[in-house]
Amino acid sequence: MKSFLLIGQSNMAGRGYLNDAPAIYNENIEVLRNGRWQMMAEPLHNDREVAGIGPAASFAAAWAQDHQAEKLGLIPCAEGGSSIDEWAEDQVLARHALSEAKFAMETSELIGILWHQGENDSLNGQYKDYAEKLKAVFGHFRQALSLPELPIIVGELPDFLGKSGFGQSAIEFKEINREIQTVVKGTKNSYLVSAENLASNPDGIHINAESQRQFGIRYYEAFKKRINVAHALGNEDEQLSRIYGRETTTNEKIYLLSRDFALGKLDYQTFMKKFAEITK
């Protein structure tokens, strides 16, 4: 089993509305809960009550299409509103994410980090030492995980920032993007993911559900081909259609039926009848 560590701030944690994009379930994609693996269900994160869709679910689904017989685990450790300083090696977010990653690594091979952060540093000239701090974060994670060449996939900040709602404060997002580019350029096995044409929630700061799904496809393109993805891919929605259209397996049907029963959406007789139909 392979795994990825998800770190950064809210747009990695996910704030896309859960009802605004088709759900993704796949028995080969799991998420770390209490140090163990469970079948993935969104939200992956619970850093906040408002956690929703991030880039990781469609990333994982794209990965799963290319690795039909393999399992992938996601380690959700992104934290809404966190600044780059809060990811420094002595800070609790970094120490906790490393602790979670090490639990995951007892039963999986960590093959990459998905990172998205910078909104909180897009003001007051904080871009001036951002590159140095980001480089230190990446270096520390690789060193602490004893994986000096671990691929790190780095999303750019979206260009809807600086304009409306809570996004208004992030006026220096272009400067931060420049610094992110510099770090990726200078860091072996790190790859940049374009945020071109991503749309926001009405709050003006969080990437919406549909765009997060597209963003995840780009993250996977960067990981798969070990390239910088400089623009929107053009075929993201086509790839997403294949993901959404995938046939539900028996195990997934049982999971969804059991979930609906647990939530009181059907009675026991109906549950048993449907269960028999699925497993016959």
Single out the segment in contact with its own copies by CB under 8 A; choices: 93-101, 114-122, 135-143, 171-179: 93-101
Q: Which is closer to its own copies, CB of 69 or CB of 263?
A: 263
Q: Counting contacts by CB under 8 A, is residue 226 touching its own copies? A: no
Q: Counting contacts by CB under 8 A, is residue 209 touching its own copies? A: no
Strand order in the sheet with 109-116: 36-39, 29-33, 72-76, 2-8, 109-116, 152-155, 190-193
> Shortest approach of its own copies to residue 263 CB, angstroms?
6
Amino acid found at 259? R
With CB under 8 A as the contact rule, the residue among 2, 88, 163, 165 that binds its own copies is: 165
Q: Counting contacts by CB under 8 A, is residue 276 touching its own copies? A: no
With CB under 8 A as the contact rule, the residue among 41, 105, 232, 254 that binds its own copies is: 41
Q: Counting contacts by CB under 8 A, is residue 248 touching its own copies? A: no
Strand partners, 113: 5, 152
With CB under 8 A as the contact rule, the residue among 22, 67, 96, 235 that binds its own copies is: 96
Q: Counting contacts by CB under 8 A, is residue 273 touching its own copies? A: no
> Shortest approach of its own copies to residue 110 CB, angstroms?
16
Q: Which is closer to its own copies, CB of 86 or CB of 159?
A: 86
Single out the segment in contact with its own copies by CB under 8 A; choices: 32-40, 56-64, 114-122, 138-146: 32-40
CA distances for 189 relative to 84, 150, 185, angstroms = 20, 7, 9
Single out the segment in contact with its own copies by CB under 8 A; choices: 122-130, 175-183, 190-198, 200-208: 200-208
> Shortest approach of its own copies to residue 17 CB, angstroms?
6
- First-to-last C-alpha distance (Å) of the chain: 29
Footprint of its own copies (CB under 8 A): 15, 17, 33-36, 38, 41, 43, 46-50, 77, 79, 92-93, 95-97, 99, 103, 106, 164-165, 201-204, 206, 259, 261-264, 267-268
